[in-house]
Amino acid sequence: MIDFQETIEAIYYELKQSQNKGVVASYIPELSKQNKNSFGIHIQHIDGRTFQIGDWNVPFSIQSISKVLALSKAIAFEDNRIWDRMDVEPSGNPFNHLSLLELEAGIPRNPLINAGAIVVADILVTHLKHPKTDFLNYVRIITNDNSINYNVDVAASEKRTGFKNYAAANLLKSFGNLNNDIEVVLDFYFHQCALEMTCSQLSKAFFLFANKGKCINNVQHISSSHTKRINAIMLTCGFYDEAGEFAFEVGLPGKSGVGGGIVALLPNDFVISTWAPGLNPKGNSLLGMQALEYFTTKTGRSIF
Ligand code: GLN
């Protein structure tokens, strides 16, 4: 029997010594205040056990990880109609890349790059009566934790510097793939990205993707068929132009964010979250990627 606690402790203490901890994101000014030495790992096993080490209980900006949660809510509203407005192919490009969007007539490559996530935000703005409050409540419910909140300073900071996201939203609008007002959709999107969660809360929020759509409280939020598809999208598109590398090194569906978080899961087994704010050149947490690679290699637990 593999000792998860012993394994993550060994990984944590080894990586803590790393000389190269990557570079903290600064294009959203508020994120540059993060400490590069923060590092946490948390595992939520499907049987209820948890394992944790380091800064697993410190809230951080989940950024693009929120795109998976937003997608799950949008799918619950629109079912497979959602795929008329975006594709499910890896982009092979950075998360905020725009030229493909223009070439492909306003149909984003997938829901986990910014353009796709902005379409998902548009869908949620259409369906939710109070989009920001209702989405926050959804995240609190699936995580079983009412203390989760938006960091409004991060949302405002991103809005001030979100020129590429404005460009993406304008392109989408010009192709008729955005129904609501650009300001309203982006305000929702910036807040969604500015959700603050701990590694432990993230592991719990993503429990439903490891549990055929049932959250940690055993309530079905999405069908097992949609869960399968969301996991497939995480595997192929969850790490931007490093999705292939993550599948190759780690072998789990997962999602990263520029706040330094990564969450990954093995269906019917466990969810693992890491947080280390220093990023590699592709915008994924450097230590987080290494920790997950060591973890699946040492334990032999991956989908392959
Ligand atoms: N909020 C960020 C942005 O839109 C999310 C990017 C990310 O985490 N990769 O640029």
Residue owning the nearest CA to atom 6 of ligand 1: 64
Return the axis-axis angle of helices 224-237 and 66-78, rounded to nearest 10°.
140
CA dist., res. 236 & res. 230, Å (int): 10
0.85 cut: is pTM over it? Answer: yes
Measured CA angle at 96 (ends 181, 114), to 5 deg: 50
Expressed in angstroms and rounded, the spacing between residue 114 Cα and the centre of ligand 1 is 7
Mutate to test the pocket of ligand 1, among 30, 114, 282 (most ligand atoms within 8 A of CB): 114
For residues 281 and 22, the answer to whether their CB atoms sit within 8 Å is: no
Which tens digits make up the pLDDT trace of 88-120?
999 888 778 888 888 888 999 999 999 999 999
Provide the pLDDT confidence category of residue 292 given band limits of 50, 70 and 90.
very high
pLDDT at 240: 84
Judged against a pLDDT cut of 90, whether residue 165 lies above it is answered with yes
- Other C-beta atoms closer than 10 Å to the C-beta of 112 total 31
Which tens digits make up the pLDDT trace of 184-195?
999 999 999 999
**Fold exhibited by the domain 4-299:** Beta-lactamase (3.40.710)
Percentage of residues of the chain with pLDDT beyond 70: 100
Expressed in angstroms and rounded, the spacing between residue 3 Cα and the centre of ligand 1 is 35
State the average pLDDT over residues 248-275: 98
Ligand 1 residue neighbourhood (C-beta within 6 Å): 63-64, 95-96, 114, 158, 165, 193, 257-258, 283
Expressed in angstroms and rounded, the spacing between residue 189 Cα and the centre of ligand 1 is 10
User: Could you write out the DSSP letters of every residue in 218-283?
Assistant: S-B-S-HHHHHHHHHHHHHHTTGGGHHHHHHHT-S-EEE-TTSEEEEEETTTEEEEEE--EE-TTS
Catalytically annotated residues: 64, 67, 189, 240, 258
